[in-house]
Amino acid sequence: MAVLLLAAQGIMAQPKGYRVQVTVDGLRDTTVLLGYHFGPKMYVADTAKVDAHGRATFSGDTLLHGGIYFVVLPEKKYFELLMVGNQQFEVRTKRNDLVHGLHFSGSPENSAFADYQRFMMDKQERNKQLGEQLKAADDTQKEELRGQLAALNAEVEAEWNRIIGKHPGTLLASMVRAMKPISIPEFVVPEGTHNPDSVRWMRSYAYNRAHYFDNIDLTDSRLIRTPILEQRIDNYFDRVLMPQPDSMVAAAIAVIERTRSNRLMFQYMVQHLTNKFQLSDRMGMDGAFALIAERYYLSGEAWWADSNLVGRLRERVELIKPNMLGKTAPDLWMPNQQMRYQRLSELKASITVLYFWDPDCGHCKKTTPEVLKIYNKYKDKGLRVFAVYTQGDQPKWMSYTKDNGLNEWVHVWDPNIGSNFRNLYDISATPVIYVLDANKKILAKRIGYESLEQILAVELGSHSGDDAKRL
């Protein structure tokens, strides 16, 4: 499956150029790099020669995109600076103390950013010291140390608030605000409420989900070239939201729509979330990918996407949409080993395991015996296996099923290549396991046998054999 990686493209630059003169005391006759953050990745924007006095100049005819940039020394150490509206300034530092030696001329925002970096380095060091002391402390000392940690956190928050208030509209203020977690109120649960802790947790969860982005300006495209925005976005989808495809899609659309007034942020958010869902190993996220790709790429709203990319996305969406979680499984009408046709939809079962396999497949040789063990454990509770042989060697297939005790499964194949099972279920390799409920709706897909047993323990744990026989 092709992976459609995020690319920054089609971004218009302003006419004014950049000129950053860098002086590093203790550095001479070498080369330094100017780079920038793009989420967790780091890219090179420019290079410059360092003269005998430690001076180097980065310059260009067009403005660089706003964000956090960094100057990399030969030993791979670097210091950070901001690229904002004014990109004509000077910076000086010391090779042996890059951050504490950092001073800017002609860029008040960078001067404030340097102060902020020094402040945070000092507080992080103090936090580390207190953490180490806490490990070895007795109960009385722990209470005092926790008080010091709380005071330290209050100092940091006070500094964040000071920066936000003193530097409105700046990238620095936007970054600091984006890093601030929201304050979740203490919810009062009426006395006598059943499971009050659960009710309180649900209200806190709902508040966090609804207000998570209150401090993040989703129209400030300068945040794209920082490590902050992507980290906050990923935290929301990976840790805040419940891992349900429908919830993920709704949340993704809501976030994307908040970026519409900024063309670059809209492009970034659509690309990032499309890629995120496509690369996710969470079950069902392929469906989230398909719905987001369909809404924004296949509709023509992704102005940066060429016809080749749109075509490849369309192919993936068409393969995924028929077999999304919660949908009725596409019906299969295929011949069995006696060449009598069997229809998937007519198989009576509390739960159906739809198993695509090949006796010669290395992974199948490990998985098939495990699926058989699981089948034998749950068959009296209504479990059936509809096993689709994906190749064409009938004698080998029949011999394997007979010799390995698979005779109770429904075995089918596609000798005339007429069932379209590969496209209906996105089968490009084996083994592949789907789990269907009594109505043949897809409960799980593309799982391992370990997950299969966990699902069956939940789905069939309360069923009885008599219930299954009445189906």
Residue 59's CATH number: 2.60.40.1120
Q: Which of 106, 128, 146 is the last residue of a domain?
A: 106
Mean pLDDT of the chain: 93
Q: Has residue 391 been placed in a domain?
A: yes
Q: Taking a C-beta distance cutoff of 8 angstroms, is the pair 163, 176 a contact?
A: yes
| Average pLDDT of the segment spanning 348-365 | 96
Q: Taking a C-beta distance cutoff of 8 angstroms, is the pair 376, 449 a contact?
A: no
Angstrom distances, CA of residue 233 to CA of 58, 76, 218, 224:
32, 28, 10, 11
Q: Taking a C-beta distance cutoff of 8 angstroms, is the pair 272, 233 a contact?
A: yes
Backbone angles phi, psi at 57, to 5 degrees: -130, 125
Residue 267: what pLDDT? 98
Give the sign of the dihedral formed by CA 288, CA 291, CA 296, CA 300: positive
Residue 387: what pLDDT? 98
Residue 450: what pLDDT? 94
- pLDDT tens digits for range 183-237: 999 999 898 889 999 999 999 999 999 999 999 999 999 999 999 999 999 999 9
Backbone angles phi, psi at 183, to 5 degrees: -90, 115
Q: Has residue 77 been placed in a domain?
A: yes
CB count within 10 Å of CB 269 equals 23
Q: What is the rounded distance in angstroms from the CA atom of residue 81 to the CA atom of residue 67?
A: 9
Same domain, yes or no, for 35 and 94? yes
Max Cα separation, the chain?
A: 89
Same domain, yes or no, for 310 and 385? no
Residue 453: what pLDDT? 94
Residue 8: what pLDDT? 43
- Cα-based angle 350, 352, 357 (whole degrees, multiple of 5): 165
- What are the tokens at 295? 């809404």
Q: Which of 320, 264, 271 minimizes the C-alpha distance to 297?
A: 271
pLDDT band at 73; cut points 50, 70, 90? very high
Q: Which domain holds residue 382?
A: 333-469
Backbone angles phi, psi at 316, to 5 degrees: -65, -40
Residue 314: what pLDDT? 97
Same domain, yes or no, for 272 and 356? no
Paired residues of 363 in beta bridges: none
pLDDT over 70 (residue 1): no
Q: Has residue 246 been placed in a domain?
A: yes
Same domain, yes or no, for 225 and 298? yes
Q: Which of 91, 106, 121 is the last residue of a domain?
A: 106
Percent share of the chain, pLDDT over 90: 91
| Average pLDDT of the segment spanning 270-284 | 96
| Average pLDDT of the segment spanning 400-420 | 95
Q: Which of 354, 329, 351 minimizes the C-alpha distance to 411?
A: 354
Q: Taking a C-beta distance cutoff of 8 angstroms, is the pair 99, 118 a contact?
A: yes
Q: Has residue 173 been placed in a domain?
A: no
pLDDT over 50 (residue 468): no
Paired residues of 41 in beta bridges: 38
Could you tell me the CATH number of the domain that includes residue 374? 3.40.30.10
Same domain, yes or no, for 41 and 95? yes
Q: Which of 58, 56, 54, 28 minimizes the C-alpha distance to 44?
A: 58
- What are the tokens at 42? 């780091």
Residue 4: what pLDDT? 46
Residue type, 69: Y
Q: Which of 265, 270, 252 minimizes the C-alpha distance to 218?
A: 265
Residue 45: what pLDDT? 97
Same domain, yes or no, for 368 and 457? yes
Question: How many domains are there within the chain?
Answer: 3
Same domain, yes or no, for 242 and 341? no
Please tell me whether the overall predicted TM-score, pTM, comes out greater than 0.75 for this model. Answer: yes
Residue-wise DSSP of 33-54: EEEEEETTEEEEEEEEEE-TTS
Q: Has residue 343 been placed in a domain?
A: yes
Give the sign of the dihedral formed by CA 225, CA 231, CA 232, CA 238: positive
- pLDDT tens digits for range 38-66: 999 999 999 999 999 999 999 999 999 99
Interacting residues of 431 by C-beta distance below 8 A, sequence separation 6+: 355, 356, 357, 358, 361, 363, 364, 367, 368
Same domain, yes or no, for 241 and 359? no
Residue 309: what pLDDT? 97
Collapsed DSSP state (helix, strand, coil) of residue 60? strand
Same domain, yes or no, for 254 and 289? yes
Q: Has residue 161 been placed in a domain?
A: no
pLDDT band at 467; cut points 50, 70, 90? very low
Q: Has residue 131 been placed in a domain?
A: no
Same domain, yes or no, for 419 and 382? yes
pLDDT over 60 (residue 312): yes
Which runs of consecutive H residues, i.e. helices, occur in 280-403?
Answer: 285-296, 307-320, 362-378, 394-403
Same domain, yes or no, for 311 and 362? no
Q: Taking a C-beta distance cutoff of 8 angstroms, is the pair 355, 431 a contact?
A: yes
Q: Which of 106, 128, 161 is the last residue of a domain?
A: 106
Radius of gyration (C-alpha) of the chain in whole angstroms:
29
Q: Has residue 54 been placed in a domain?
A: yes
Same domain, yes or no, for 390 and 311? no
pLDDT band at 301; cut points 50, 70, 90? very high
N-terminal to C-terminal alpha carbon distance within the chain: 39
| Average pLDDT of the segment spanning 175-182 | 95
